[in-house]
Amino acid sequence: MAPAIHLGPDAPEHLANAIEAGGGTLTPLEDAEAVVWVGSPDDLPELPASVKWVQLQSAGIEHWVERVRATPGVTFTTAAGAYAAQVAEHALGLLIAGIRNFNQYARAWSWDPQDGGQLAGSTVAVIGAGGIGRALIKRLEPHDVKILAVTRSGRDGTIPVERIGEIWGQADHFVLCAPATDETRHLIGAPELWVMKPHTWIVNIARGSLIDTEALVNALSTRIIGGAALDVTDPEPLPNGHPLWASPHALITPHVANTESTMARDLADRVQENVRRYAAGEELLAPVDLGAGY
C-alpha cells in the first residue's frame, strides 16, 4: 500500500512528483504517516500521532535540534549528502583559486604577476569525510595530492577526531566539511592557526561557526597563513564593512556552493529515494542522530 505523505508548507511540483515517483501518495497532514517539510522548524505544525517520519530539506540540523528533541517517536531525516557533488566542486574551485592567487588578481587594477603555489604535490586535510568530504576527496585524487581525512570514528584509514591536533602543522591546506555542533564550534582558532604553514589556505564550505572569525582576521592581517576561502561565515550574512571583505587574502562567496537550481534537483532525488525506502521498509538515508549532533 502506498504510504500517505504530506508535503508542506508549500507543495512544489518537483517534490510532489518525487513523492509519487517514490511510491507515495500526497495527503493532508491529518491523514499522513510521513511528512516532507521544506519550511522552517517554527512553521512545522504539531504532528498527528500517525506521522512516523519527517524528511527535511536541509543538510544540517542546528536549527532543528530542539524540534527533533521535542518530537520523540518520529524519525527525522536530512538531506545530508544529497548536495555533495556540487558543494565539493565549489570547494575544489575555492581551493585552487586561493592557491593560485585568483583572489588578488580579481582585485587588481594593474598587471601584477605573482609567484603562486600549486595544488599538485601538497597535503590537503579534509575535515569531515561525510558525503561532501568523500565527494571532495574523489575530486582531489587526480591532482597528485596527499589527503588527510579526519572523521569521528577514524575508520577506513581516516584520522580520528581525537588526533586532530596532529594535522594542523602537517597539512598544507584545509577544507572544512564537518557539521556544526558544540564540539566543532571554533574548531579552528588562534592556537590552530598559529601552527599552520605560512602558505596554508583554509576552505570552509560547511558552517561559519567552525572558524573563530576574529582569530582568522588576525591571522590574515599578520600573514600567519596564506589565506581563507569562505562560502560560509560567522556572522552570516557577513556584514558590509567587515574586515574580511577588505582582506586581500580572503576569498568569499555568499553561501552559494549549493545553488538553488541544483538544490531543487538533488532534493527531489533524495525525497524520491527515501520515499521508496520508506514504502519498502528499508533503512532511510541520513537519519538525524541527536547524540552525534547531525
Catalytically annotated residue among 90, 173, 207, 270:
207
CA 30 to chain centre: 33
The answer to whether 186 is a known catalytic residue is: no
Cα angle at 294 between 50 and 212, to 5 degrees?
145
The answer to whether 242 is a known catalytic residue is: no
Dist CA 183 CA 187 (whole Å): 8
The answer to whether 265 is a known catalytic residue is: no
How many CA atoms lie less than 13 Å away from 292 in the CB half-sphere? 13
Buried b (16+ CB within 10 A) or exposed e, 145-155: bebbbbbbeee
Please choose, from the candidates 46, 44, 43, 50, the residue with its C-alpha nearest in 3D space to the C-alpha of residue 27: 50
Catalytically annotated residue among 236, 242, 273, 276:
236
Dist CA 107 CA 121 (whole Å): 28
Cβ–Cβ under 8 Å, residues 220 and 247:
yes
Cα angle at 46 between 41 and 47, to 5 degrees?
105
Catalytically annotated residue among 185, 255, 265, 277:
255
Distances (CA, A) of 123 to 92, 118, 212: 14, 11, 23
In this structure, the number of other CB atoms found within 10 A of the CB of residue 267 comes to 25
CA 263 to chain centre: 13
Cβ–Cβ under 8 Å, residues 3 and 275:
yes
| Continuous segment of H or E residues that includes residue 149 | strand 146-151
The grid coordinates of residue 153 equal 570514528
By annotation, the residues acting in catalysis are 207, 236, 255
